[in-house]
Structure 1
Amino acid sequence: MFKVNVSPDMNMYSLLINQGYDPTYALCEFLDNSIHAFQEHSDLDVLEIDISFFSENYHVKKNRNSITISDKGPGIQKDLLKKALQPANKPSKIGLSEFGIGMKSAAVWFANEWILTTYPKGEGKKLTADFDLEKLLAEGKSILDVSEDSDDPSKHGTTIELIGLRKKLTREKFDVICKGIGDIYQKFIERPEKKVKINASFDGETLAVKNTYKGFPTLVAPTFVKRKNKTYTSGKDKEWKVTIDTEYQGHPVKGFIHLMDKGGYKKNPGLVMFRHDRVVIGTTDNHFKPDGIYGTSNKAASMRVQGELHLDNHPVSYTKDKFTFDEVDFSSHLLENVNGLRELLNQAENYRAGGADPLESDGEEKNGSPTANDIEDRAVDPEEGPTATGTSPTENTESNNDQSSDSDTTGSEQGGNSDDGEYDHINDRAETKIQRSGKIDLALKKSKSKKLYWLYSSLCTVSLRQHPTLMYVGAWSFFEVLARKCGYTNNDFTAFYSGKIIDWGFTKEDKKTFNVHLEDISKNGNTMKHHKDSMKVDAAQLANDFEVLEPLILSALEHVI
């Protein structure tokens, strides 16, 4: 038996209960320690980690509402265990394990009681520490007893049991956690040497944790440019990818940013940010799309711009779920110091999956052929007609495969070329019509709702300037009918969408943005519909409303009953 002083102040542990952990990242604290020890202190070729989740309904009573993390690594030697149990006692070498507080803070965040058992490799010892916060506080103690017993010398590894979890475990939470862990440790799971195998189980049902992010093919296409609101192609096909090799705040940043061959709002994690080969942010469920690079969430960049950056020496938050630098300043640094990045962002905004006419040397489009932007919107049957761009659903294969990819909206410019006329459209802020989206057209046809289809068709045909009151009432009707098609029965459609935004895979920032636009449509449309004198003299804002809300409309159409 030996003793470890786990102070400085036992009340500090009470504060850790309310820290801002996400359960996935809290569990990563234990995995970080296991993998760090495996890398630094082990001659093993493979590290196996098992995470066992037990719900409150598990048939074995003593295991209910608990989590057990067990590895077959090198174990923890006695001297290292003393340091590991003391708060803020940092490891000698910085890596995945860094601050000296992670294991303790995460354990207390999960539960008041946790038991650590370790078998140092080759020593024939079993060391056990039982940490019970309530008992230590009640007795006014800061000394932890650690038992030391003889055991089989062939045993090695460490087990941590989190007993009496503060928050209930569900199968849904388990699935989210496993998906997140697979993304965060993707490099360790996929590597051929010093490989990490992670298995997880929920109430005895086991699955192998896998990496869902596999990267995306890079877009190969000519340059797409705009001339007076029309899109053309220029030059030969090229691969749209830039190499990142710069220094920011005295530390290296390496990797790449490219355009995905097939974009998608939901499937694109944005910038996957690694530190010591572990993802800090930028997973399939926790996107990283800084505004300085991506703009607002509805822009084309959010669908298609993607990359992997390695920032090994950059500081992170103590929960290791974000970097501590200012995102705006970081984005500005990349834009100013990475050759070709501005051009790549312009391509993201201008690119059209359906192609465009080539730009002649004199700046005119070849043969005077109309582009997609010039084609008159036509009223078509939702069961049979062509899309707004004149193509049939079978021709538009990318839209068929991924309704969240390749927006037909014009988007915005982000720096880059200074050709005459390229930015003329920016000065014309008042749109005359809501720009029709081929993706929404296709989704409406699949929904088989003629009412929704003709509402949308009318909204994209009537002038915003000449019929503003009609347009606001029509927009209100569109979102009201769409909500009812999704099963909503009350009168306030803004409440329905607000409650669904996060469930449908969008971020909190998306929710804030979407709500602003929905509330404006609801307030104006409802007031004009019911008040005998209320009217609008201009409805140009609706063009931007439908552009911003396009991803939400597409998600809602996926849930039409």
Structure 2
Amino acid sequence: MNNIENVSIKIQTGVYGQFRNLNNTAWYALGEYVDNAVQSFENNKSRLLEANDNNYQFEVRINIDKENDIIEIYDNAAGIDIDNFQRAFEPANIPIDNTGLHEFGMGMKTASIWLADFWSVRTAALDEDEERLVEFDLKKVLKEEKELLEVVNVKKDMTTHFTLLTLTQLSKNAPSNHQIDKIKRHLLSIYRKFIRKGDMKLFINNEELIYEEPEILKAPFYNSPNDEPIEWKKEINFSTGKYKVNGFIALLSTMSTNKVNGISLFRRGRVIEGSHDEKYRPKALCGQVGSPRYKRIFGELELEGFAVSFNKGSFQEQDDLEALMEALKTEISSKDFDLYNQAEKFIKPKSIEDNKTVGKNILNTIKKTYDRENLKTQLDNSIKQIENKVLEANNEIFYKKAETIDSHEDIIELKGEKYKLILELITEAKISDLYSISTIEDELFTQKIIYKINLAHPFFTRFEKLKKEEDYQPILLIIRSLVLAEIIAPSQGTKGAGNVRLNFNSFIKNL
């Protein structure tokens, strides 16, 4: 008879009260129970199958009922056996084998106290004849400075196996009803590998969580649109020093900006960083926020050699992690499979039906807003401004005084001539032009050309949708093309090519 009379919880009891103030989230706290259940299943797979005549499915069920002040976490893994029962309740008693998911020996205790004042554990270990119940009353433990908790032992069948945690007198950290959907999505994301393999079924409030795989882009390389489509997924198997990374980086078929794009970083099969809408998006791989690369790159990377934080919500060696991402940039930028540039430069072609729908909507909008008299006034005003030499001179003065927000340089070749192109962004409401061009002699180039784009121009302030940096990209590309057209026009016999810019600046302001 394996009868246990009591278990030790020896620690300075005041420490328990501090667990409530740990920086944590509801999904990471609940994840501690799932980790324990998964590890119990992993350690006892063959025994569980044998005990159930090979008709066994591992399950974890979490029920959150805030209205009735209760959370229950049930699993049908192998239970907490006699060898681990005492350790399970002693704070910081690290498991003998700490290479699994319950490595710190603190998860169940800290999570339970973080979530509730009163919690109990009822467990039946496979191949043992005792079911055990322990209850933890935080207020009573602190008041009486208890170091021992009574264990209630009940006879059971040797093949019965489960663990049930019940939390009541929930704390302010316990999830509210409106958080349940987010908890579902985070836990589904964190444990997707176990769910994907069919090893585990995870239920929250009796709803089974099913992971939907993002659709991977299948398309030709961006600069070879007539080639055969490629599945843009790169398998990663890379190591440097003590660190190893395995998994994949791929491109989304449809760009995303919040939940799907970005990297999930795994350790020992579960996500550490990058679950649901908190994806890891290193600049080295994903580029600037809002860029096509940022919206299209996603992946799953299993890391080895990195330590994790106490609540398993982040990796410790962040500088080394960033260096590893820099190394992976080279891995996905190879000439034979340039996923990095495909992410930035591929444009998904619209279907004929898409174009027809857009075209009809454009013309319907034009017809609704068309005003013949107003258009005549706008054109007259534009012609007057084109012919206004004082306005042109004032613009020149304000351009010289305008402070440059930031700049970007390109070196380009056109018809055998080399040019240095410098984009400068300014914001000056007194300038009537959308953009300007000036040239500077340079011994290394045919010409050095500075073109300034005025973000304070009425064209930008007229449209409310122009809020994020990606909204401006198409406009900047159009202006850049106009600049290039003006540069090359003289070689084609065009005289006074700058008049197109002068006229354009006037019409774009008034129309």
- Please say if residues 432 and 464 of structure 1, whose CA atoms lie closer than 8 Å, have aligned partners that are also in contact: no
- Find the counterpart in structure 2 of residue 126 from structure 1: 131
- Asked whether 1:273 is paired with 2:265, we answer yes
Q: Could you tell me how far 1:191 is from its partner in structure 2?
A: 1.4
- Asked whether 1:136 is paired with 2:133, we answer no
Q: Of Structure 1 and Structure 2, which has the larger fraction of its residues in strand?
A: 2
Q: In structure 2, what residue type is equivalent to 1:240? A: W
- Asked whether 1:351 is paired with 2:354, we answer no
Q: Could you tell me how far 1:220 is from its partner in structure 2?
A: 2.5
- Asked whether 1:13 is paired with 2:16, we answer yes
Q: In structure 2, what residue type is equivalent to 1:175? A: D
- Find the counterpart in structure 1 of residue 36 from structure 2: 33
- Please say if residues 432 and 463 of structure 1, whose CA atoms lie closer than 8 Å, have aligned partners that are also in contact: no
- Find the counterpart in structure 2 of residue 52 from structure 1: 63
Q: Could you tell me how far 1:13 is from its partner in structure 2?
A: 1.9
Between the aligned partners of 2:471 and 2:267, the Cα distance in structure 1 is: 43
- Find the counterpart in structure 1 of residue 281 from structure 2: 289
Q: 1:104 to 1:349 in 2, by over 3 A?
A: same
Q: 1:240 to 1:72 in 2, by over 3 A?
A: closer
Q: In structure 2, what residue type is equivalent to 1:191? A: K
Q: Could you tell me how far 1:98 is from its partner in structure 2?
A: 1.2
Q: Could you tell me how far 1:289 is from its partner in structure 2?
A: 1.0
Q: Could you tell me how far 1:239 is from its partner in structure 2?
A: 4.2
Between the aligned partners of 1:344 and 1:222, the Cα distance in structure 2 is: 9
- Asked whether 1:90 is paired with 2:94, we answer yes
SS in 2 for 1:222: coil
- Asked whether 1:325 is paired with 2:296, we answer no
Between the aligned partners of 1:286 and 1:542, the Cα distance in structure 2 is: 23
| Match among 23, 31, 38 for residue 26 of structure 2 | 23
- Please say if residues 216 and 250 of structure 2, whose CA atoms lie closer than 8 Å, have aligned partners that are also in contact: no
Between the aligned partners of 2:195 and 2:228, the Cα distance in structure 1 is: 39
- Please say if residues 3 and 144 of structure 1, whose CA atoms lie closer than 8 Å, have aligned partners that are also in contact: yes
- Find the counterpart in structure 2 of residue 161 from structure 1: 166
Between the aligned partners of 1:332 and 1:175, the Cα distance in structure 2 is: 35
Between the aligned partners of 1:546 and 1:74, the Cα distance in structure 2 is: 62
- Please say if residues 223 and 237 of structure 1, whose CA atoms lie closer than 8 Å, have aligned partners that are also in contact: no
Q: 1:143 to 1:308 in 2, by over 3 A?
A: same
Q: 1:469 to 1:346 in 2, by over 3 A?
A: closer
| Match among 296, 308, 321 for residue 300 of structure 2 | 308
| Match among 92, 101, 118 for residue 113 of structure 1 | 118
Q: Could you tell me how far 1:473 is from its partner in structure 2?
A: 5.7
- Asked whether 1:186 is paired with 2:181, we answer no
- Please say if residues 190 and 271 of structure 2, whose CA atoms lie closer than 8 Å, have aligned partners that are also in contact: yes
Between the aligned partners of 2:176 and 2:345, the Cα distance in structure 1 is: 44
Any idea what the Cα deviations from partners look like across 1:112-171, whole Å, max 9, x if unmatched? 221011111232212111111221111122222222222344431111111111135433
Between the aligned partners of 1:246 and 1:465, the Cα distance in structure 2 is: 48
Give the number of the structure whose alpha-carbon radius of gyration is greater: 2
- Find the counterpart in structure 1 of residue 395 from structure 2: none
- Find the counterpart in structure 2 of residue 428 from structure 1: 422
Q: Could you tell me how far 1:325 is from its partner in structure 2?
A: 2.5
Q: Could you tell me how far 1:184 is from its partner in structure 2?
A: 1.4
- Please say if residues 434 and 454 of structure 2, whose CA atoms lie closer than 8 Å, have aligned partners that are also in contact: no
Any idea what the Cα deviations from partners look like across 1:239-290, whole Å, max 9, x if unmatched? 4333311114413211221222322223523112222221223333222211
- Find the counterpart in structure 2 of residue 99 from structure 1: 104
Q: Could you tell me how far 1:82 is from its partner in structure 2?
A: 0.5
Task: Give the % identical residues.
Answer: 25
Any idea what the Cα deviations from partners look like across 1:167-225, whole Å, max 9, x if unmatched? 35433211111122122111212214xx2112221xxxx3112224x13223321243x
Q: Could you tell me how far 1:432 is from its partner in structure 2?
A: 9.8
- Find the counterpart in structure 1 of residue 434 from structure 2: 463
Between the aligned partners of 2:322 and 2:454, the Cα distance in structure 1 is: 39
**Count of aligned pairs between the two proteins:** 387
| Match among 75, 79, 104 for residue 79 of structure 2 | 75
Any idea what the Cα deviations from partners look like across 1:440-460, whole Å, max 9, x if unmatched? xxxxxxxxxxxxxxxxxxxxx
Any idea what the Cα deviations from partners look like across 1:388-440, whole Å, max 9, x if unmatched? xxxxxxxxxxxxxxxxxxxxxxxxxxxxxx9978xx9995323699xxxxxxx
Q: Which moved more, 1:7-16 or 1:65-74?
A: 7-16
Any idea what the Cα deviations from partners look like across 1:90-119, whole Å, max 9, x if unmatched? 223211221111111111111122101111
Between the aligned partners of 2:254 and 2:60, the Cα distance in structure 1 is: 35
- Please say if residues 248 and 333 of structure 1, whose CA atoms lie closer than 8 Å, have aligned partners that are also in contact: no
Q: 1:124 to 1:478 in 2, by over 3 A?
A: same
The two structures have a TM-score, normalised by structure 2, of 0.67
Between the aligned partners of 2:453 and 2:91, the Cα distance in structure 1 is: 64
Q: In structure 2, what residue type is equivalent to 1:254? A: N
Query: CA RMSD for the aligned pairs?
Result: 3.7
Q: Which moved more, 1:46-55 or 1:326-335?
A: 326-335
Between the aligned partners of 1:143 and 1:264, the Cα distance in structure 2 is: 52
Between the aligned partners of 2:191 and 2:6, the Cα distance in structure 1 is: 34
- Please say if residues 218 and 229 of structure 2, whose CA atoms lie closer than 8 Å, have aligned partners that are also in contact: no
Between the aligned partners of 2:244 and 2:186, the Cα distance in structure 1 is: 26
Q: Which moved more, 1:82-91 or 1:248-257?
A: 248-257
Q: Could you tell me how far 1:543 is from its partner in structure 2?
A: 4.5
Structure 1 residue runs without a partner (length 5+)? 57-63, 225-231, 356-378, 386-417, 434-460, 484-496, 498-513, 518-540, 548-561
Q: Could you tell me how far 1:299 is from its partner in structure 2?
A: 0.8
SS in 2 for 1:430: strand
Q: Could you tell me how far 1:300 is from its partner in structure 2?
A: 0.8
Between the aligned partners of 1:249 and 1:165, the Cα distance in structure 2 is: 45
